Structure 1
Amino acid sequence: MFKGLASFCQFLLDAIAAVLAVICNLFPPSPFKIISNAGFSDLLAQINYFLPVYEFLTIAEAWLICIIVYYAISVVARWLKAIE
């Protein structure tokens, strides 16, 4: 019985992994590819000497992920009636 349950769980996990892999393959390799291929990349490199643009983008990305996780947890907690 446990062998059948284990194989079912493994099948379910494999199916979820396959769906997530397909979804991830739909996204472009890098959202910042446009910046590096643009004609102003040399100008951006010169500006980056005085103002660290890439570091600002990295910090903004981390901040945005934290905010998204906070609101996602907040929504789940509201659904479970843990908070108001």
Structure 2
Amino acid sequence: MANTEQSKKRARQNEKRFQINKARRSRIRTYLRKVEEAIASGDKTAATEALKTAQPELMRGVTKGVFHKNTASRKMSRLAARVKALG
């Protein structure tokens, strides 16, 4: 348990950031799931649109520190390749 004022404040800040990052991660996963579902249905136009909306969300997660840059790039690359292969 935190004893000093500084450590108590830090604990409060950590909890607040955790909640924000958790919500952001969940939001990004929702966008990625929409792309996955569009790919599974075989609808290339829907998959392309879903991918276009998911990309900025994923990259925003990178700038906010939720995901590593290479992780986001890898996910986008793999999804784009799967969408391209639909045609």
TM-score range normalised by the length of the shorter chain? 0.3 to 0.5
- Which of the two has greater helix per residue? 2
Structure 1 length-normalised TM: 0.41
Larger radius of gyration: 1
